[in-house]
A and B are shown apart, each in its own frame.
Chain A
């Protein structure tokens, strides 16, 4: 019998109350993250990738209506009471956000913030908590950890702060870490280091990792499996290697072409997708990508394609690109 997936999301929809009716940010998304795999979620603005996981963790604002099911290690998170959620959040299920400056409390020392997580979720003395915090800072390769523990967030560089966030997410031995654009606000050289750190940490701790990013190359460098989102839905799910080699959804293919390369042939014009992603209220009955798709037909505009395929590879397209 197959082990329980670490995270199982079924038919999750997120609607925000708009002035002219509800706006759908996430539409009936289902996915599963097993054991220790690394899943990359790729999408541009309006894809709903961040709202999807914010909803799963119960972090959305009150004007959001969330339906569906989110099961973490078998426990239903949606609609769960705060005490239950808080048992998981920060310990077994933790999240790393884009801007570490705003996720770390500015007026608390680093050590205090790390210790707070430990003391909240586990039984131990303050002394033990600070020791564990120092150990974790060492594991994320922060030099001179004792001094860092005493410092405030603003005294650290962006890359250093993100390492602290990673340390914080690992403190209680999580089964799943969700990283939302963890390197977007960082310099290129620091980005490479943080990705390397995430890889190491995954190998050491053996937890599952969901990496959300608009940057295909970042996701491609670390993920086992990639989910491509567009206008609130998953349009393609595929092992990373195969997505790079032979994308099936036209959007995935165009997105890959749009990324300018460091070593490929030079282009006099960059590849681009015409138009822009639809706003929530602009999504019609058919395929949301049809207006921008070179191969769109009447059927595409009329009928929305469902996500279908094998257990390993799915695509939501009436005319997927062949391998």
Chain B
């Protein structure tokens, strides 16, 4: 695997005293697609925003191509933004309703290439519109004239304008119809193939993540509980929460009682719902530890012989 372009270390985000993201660490290599799964309250969206410095973090570092994004000046961070882009969940809301879509797509150009003349800019916007499957003549229209799927294409066009090295997709297809989701995902895959960019694909939809990712990160209540290669995760999930997620996604009868949302201050965050829980789990929170070179699990019992395949 190529070298890591993004190294997140012990990243934490707090809203007041409540830890939304707790000491999350992971790497991302060039050209790699990493799926980030978790449910509501897992902190996955906050993690993405903290990485891009769209929200404040309370600790840790985000090393992008060797430079800590959390430490650099606001101006330096702005300059870095051409390399790190994001596509949001609500396609219509992420577009300025008062700007034509052509202007929205041209925005990154105006910011980073102020010297470019209008004709050249228009050509680039037209080319990008066609690249994402829209007609170049649509540049003068406004967001509300488009469907959800089309708005998402526009959002992708804007993000791709400066050829980013990392594209974060925050539930980018969750609000779209099933028959449109495939179109958008195929578009993302094509763009990735062409540009070689890395992708961090955040989703609660495990089936989509399965088809897209090389590696998968699983988050629960602000912590990473499992990091595994795609094949390993879907064939033999180790962490009890990952197993519950996959079981639920396959709509097999759930074995756990209804969940209560009460964050634990001591011990493993998952202990109340875990059918493998031991007294040890209530006493101390398990760290994210490597079981193998490619497999990390935050569970006291993960290393037990036979647990992996129970």
* A→B interface (CB under 8 Å): 44-45, 141-143, 157-160, 163, 187-193, 195-196, 214-218, 221, 254-255, 258-263, 266-274, 276-277
- A267 lies within 8 A of B211 (CB): yes
Min C-beta distance of A202 to chain B, whole Å: 15
How big is chain B's contact interface, by range? 35 or more
Query: A262: which B residues are within 8 A, CB to CB?
Result: 206-207, 210, 234, 246, 249-250
A157, B259: Cα distance in complex, Å? 9
B185-229: contact bitstring with A at CB < 8 Å (1 yes, 0 no)?
Answer: 110010000000000000011111011000000000000000000
Residue B163 at the chain A interface, CB threshold 8 Å: no
Q: How many residue-residue contacts, CB under 8 A, span A and B?
A: 113
* B→A interface (CB under 8 Å): 39-40, 147-150, 177-183, 185-186, 189, 204-208, 210-211, 234, 244-254, 256-261
- A192 lies within 8 A of B254 (CB): yes
- Some 28 contacts from A to B, beta carbons below 8 A apart, are A44-B179, A157-B260, A157-B261, A159-B258, A187-B39, A187-B204, A188-B206, A189-B254, A190-B258, A191-B248, A192-B247, A192-B251, A192-B253, A195-B251, A196-B254, A214-B177, A215-B178, A216-B178, A221-B251, A255-B179, A258-B181, A260-B207, A260-B208, A267-B211, A269-B189, A270-B208, A273-B179, A277-B179
A271, B207: Cα distance in complex, Å? 13
Query: B40: which A residues are within 8 A, CB to CB?
Result: 158, 187
Min C-beta distance of B138 to chain A, whole Å: 14
A22, B208: Cα distance in complex, Å? 38
Known: A188-B248, A270-B208. 18 other contacts (CB 8 A): A44-B179, A187-B39, A187-B40, A188-B249, A189-B248, A189-B254, A189-B256, A190-B259, A192-B252, A196-B253, A262-B250, A270-B211, A271-B182, A272-B181, A273-B179, A273-B182, A273-B183, A276-B150
Query: A187: which B residues are within 8 A, CB to CB?
Result: 39-40, 204
* Most chain B CB inside 10 Å of its own CB: which residue of A44, A158, A188, A215: A188
